Amino acid sequence: MDSPDVQLPVPQQEERTLAMLAHILQVFVGFIAPLVILVVKRQSRFVSFHAVQALLWQVIYFVIAMLAMVAWFAVVFSIALAHSGSSSNPQPAEVFLAFPLMLLFLMAGWATGLVLAIVYGIKASNGEWAEYPLIGRWARRLTLDSARGAPLPTAQP
């Protein structure tokens, strides 16, 4: 909850546009757009906050996707090795079920990213200091005001 004396800086139109682009462009180019926007407009607390959120989501999604692919390869190879001795038994159904399940998991992550990009892109365009669920606080901590050392204010409900 915010203390009553904390005032949120009102972002300019250019800041709102760049913050919105940091969210929306991640759907098309992944982490590149939020990273470029973060580097270009690092002095803007508003743009930095939104770009870091989009960047964090892209990094987390990438790590989770890589772990899912490693797990998928481990499952497929362990099943294939377990059934390699019996020539009469064809490949088990688990091998054919593992790939669609991994693909469904990756698509769910992409759809989550799409929803986050649209919702928080609109909020950034409206000048809101809206936080992503779970990672918004990390972004706030990472985007400290370097001049004063003060953390970004929390968004009001």
Dump pLDDT digits (tens) for 42-55.
888 999 999 999 99
- Report which residue type is found at 52: V
Segment 133-154, tens digit of pLDDT: 988 888 888 886 443 455 445 5
Note the pLDDT of residue 103. 87
d(CA 86, CA 47) in angstroms, rounded, equals: 60
Q: What are phi and psi of 48, to 5 degrees?
A: -60, -45
Total Cβ atoms within 10 A of residue 128: 18
Average pLDDT of every residue of the chain = 82
Note the pLDDT of residue 21. 95
Say what percent of the chain tops pLDDT 70.
80
CA distances from 90 to 73, 83, 96, 101, 149 (A): 19, 8, 12, 21, 64
Closest by Cα among 45, 30, 25, 1 to 109: 30
- Report which residue type is found at 25: L
Segment 62-72 mean pLDDT: 90
3 vs 112: which has the higher pLDDT: 112
Note the pLDDT of residue 89. 60
d(CA 75, CA 83) in angstroms, rounded, equals: 12
Note the pLDDT of residue 92. 67
Note the pLDDT of residue 54. 94
d(CA 40, CA 14) in angstroms, rounded, equals: 12
Note the pLDDT of residue 121. 96
Segment 111-117 mean pLDDT: 94
Mutual angle of helices 45-82 and 13-24, in 10-degree steps: 0
For every residue of 109-137, DSSP letters joined together read HHHHHHHHHHHHHHHHHTT-----TTTHH
